[in-house]
A and B are shown apart, each in its own frame.
Chain A
Amino acid sequence: MGLQRLDFAEFYRSAADECLRTVLISVGDQGTAQDLVDEAFARAWASWGTVSRHPAPKAWVVRTALNASISRWRRRHREVLVSDPGTVADPPANGGASDSFVDPKIMAALMRLSARQRQVVALRLILDLDTGRSAEVLGIAPGTVMAHLGRAMAALRNDLKPERQEETRP
């Protein structure tokens, strides 16, 4: 058990950020991505005997995270809406800082892709999976992965191209 713990801890240390970034690009929301990845890693630890023998444990985690469904009912019941801000004391002065560290321009361009294209981009570019493994994770044909990646790259290139500068005359 002790060795298993060390083994899993090492895996988590090396893979957590990469998996989080991959799922973030796929779902577009950092908090949601963190929840999904946390749950996927917890499941990996619960079944570490099996997952550790998987040829690509990182791919297993990402697939589990992407498959994880969070019921809408639970989401709505975890939330409180307050319509009377007068009942609330002033927040502390240090409030207001965003906890997001994502480049907004590129994230906006990624969000304009289809969900499947984003997943392919995330698996191929962030998790660095090959076409075959990406296809396995997503349950689609390798040719489809290549097609999605090609279209996604073209769309991103077009979206992120530098704005043309106007020529100025003296």
Chain B
Amino acid sequence: MNDDELITAVRKSVADVHSATSIEQIMGRGHALRTRRRIPGAAGVLAVIAGVALAVMALLSPARPASHQPAAKLAAWTVVKEADGSVSITIREFRNAAGLQRKLRADGVRASVIFYPTKLRDGLPFSRLFHVPHNPCHPFSGGQGKLLKVVGGPRPSHLGEHSVISVVHPSALPRHAGVQFIATRNVGYLRTTNQRHALGVRLVQANRRCTGS
């Protein structure tokens, strides 16, 4: 193989790789960076928040002992509207995403829920979780700075059930923003186990196609 053939081979090896990110997403993030620069006092705080923009909400707890038999089968998920207007979500199985999405919207949360859109390649970074085919949502153009005000939940070590718990505060949602939950498997940087499942949450641009309104 001479130099020209080698150069051609290396170029061809990645010729089918194309960026999956839209110009709107890039500009949205760029605007957030500009805004951060203009507010020096808030820079540190915003840096942390931006870092968890694609945060995982909670860890699923370890396997249930084989001897333990639950008295009754619990629903895959439960949504409870609290007196203060917040909405508590308990997810026990990643099942019936459409039903959960309907329930959240009925309780006033502009929401999109996707469970297992596809099996992603092993070892992908978590941020790729949202780059799934046919995802109808785009990141919120105002950035992810308000995410932790909108969605909260107990620390993983406090979870009492084998479940994921989130608390959504619809009143904290910025105008034109919604929340997207995506669960999938086989993402993450750690390559030491085959069983990896992740639930991610982010703010998205609210519209009829993504969040129903």
Q: In angstroms, how far is the closest chain B Cβ from the Cβ of A155?
A: 11
| Interface membership of A96, Cβ < 8 A | yes
- Which residues of chain A (40-86) have a CB below 8 Å from chain B? 41-46, 48, 71, 74-86
Bound CA span A35–B131, Å = 11
User: Interface 1/0s, chain B 29-60, versus A by CB < 8 A?
Assistant: 11111100100000000000001101110111
B162, A157: Cβ atoms closer than 8 Å = no
Say whether chain B's binding surface is mostly helix, strand, loop, or mixed. loop
B196, A81: Cβ atoms closer than 8 Å = yes
| Interface membership of A100, Cβ < 8 A | yes
Bound CA span A82–B164, Å = 11
Q: In angstroms, how far is the closest chain B Cβ from the Cβ of A141?
A: 22
| Interface membership of A165, Cβ < 8 A | no
A38, B27: Cβ atoms closer than 8 Å = no
A12, B26: Cβ atoms closer than 8 Å = yes
B13: chain A residues within 8 A (beta carbon):
102-103, 106-107, 110
B30, A102: Cβ atoms closer than 8 Å = no
B126, A156: Cβ atoms closer than 8 Å = no
B29, A38: Cβ atoms closer than 8 Å = yes
Considering only CB atoms, which chain A residue lies closest to B22 in the complex? A12
Bound CA span A48–B37, Å = 14
A31 contact from B23, B124, B195, Cβ within 8 A: B124
A17: chain B residues within 8 A (beta carbon):
17-19
B119, A5: Cβ atoms closer than 8 Å = no
| Interface membership of B103, Cβ < 8 A | no
B interface residues, tally (CB under 8 Å): 72
User: Interface 1/0s, chain B 83-99, versus A by CB < 8 A?
Assistant: 00000000011110000
A interface residues, tally (CB under 8 Å): 68
| Interface membership of B106, Cβ < 8 A | no
B63 contact from A45, A79, A86, Cβ within 8 A: A86
B121, A76: Cβ atoms closer than 8 Å = no
B60, A74: Cβ atoms closer than 8 Å = no
Bound CA span A71–B127, Å = 14
| Interface membership of A87, Cβ < 8 A | yes
Given A21-B14, A77-B55; 15 other pairs, CB 8 A cutoff: A9-B23, A16-B19, A37-B19, A46-B33, A75-B189, A78-B56, A82-B60, A89-B93, A94-B118, A96-B119, A102-B14, A107-B14, A110-B10, A160-B1, A162-B1
The 9 closest A-B pairs by CB, nearest first: A45-B30, A103-B13, A42-B29, A101-B16, A95-B119, A106-B13, A84-B63, A89-B95, A78-B126
Interface residues of A (CB under 8 A from B): 5, 8-9, 12-13, 16-17, 20-21, 24-25, 29-32, 34-35, 37-39, 41-46, 48, 71, 74-89, 91-92, 94-103, 106-107, 110, 121, 125-126, 153, 156-157, 160-162
